[in-house]
Amino acid sequence: MIGRVNHIALAVPDLAAAAAAYRDQLGASVGAPQALPQHGVTVIFIDTGNTKVELLEPLGDNSPIAAFLEKNPSGGMHHVCYEVADIADAIASLQASGARVLGDGTPKTGAHGNPVVFLHPKDFAGTLIELEQVPA
């Protein structure tokens, strides 16, 4: 069902500082900040050649990233995103197997403009999983 890793998301308390560290210390190609109010985050993508790293900073007081950073003030890995060919088929298969899709189970539009869903971390060894349908 899952394809390649699309990105690894890191919650950070200071987006500009984290982006600067990746750019200046690691020599990475760092994208521009992108506000995603529907998800409560501002993101920056870092292209590593074979995948991406997504830096996440809270956008607003109700951001899920704010709650994560309260527990992890220095930041840390928030989720792993895997590509899928058909998100509706993936959701149906996962729900049939007992896995929990977060929210109401309806895909939302992600940072790349593609449909995404998140899977409950308790069903996947404590890791929040994002599935993203990517064009073939």
The size of the chain, in residues, is 136
Q: Which of 60, 42, 36, 17 is nearest to 109 (CA)?
A: 36
Phi, psi (rounded to 5 degrees) for 94:
-65, -45
Per DSSP, the three-state class of 125 is coil
How far is residue 136's CA from residue 125's CA, in Å, rounded to a whole number? 29
- As annotated, the active-site residues are 130
What is the SS3 assignment for 128? strand
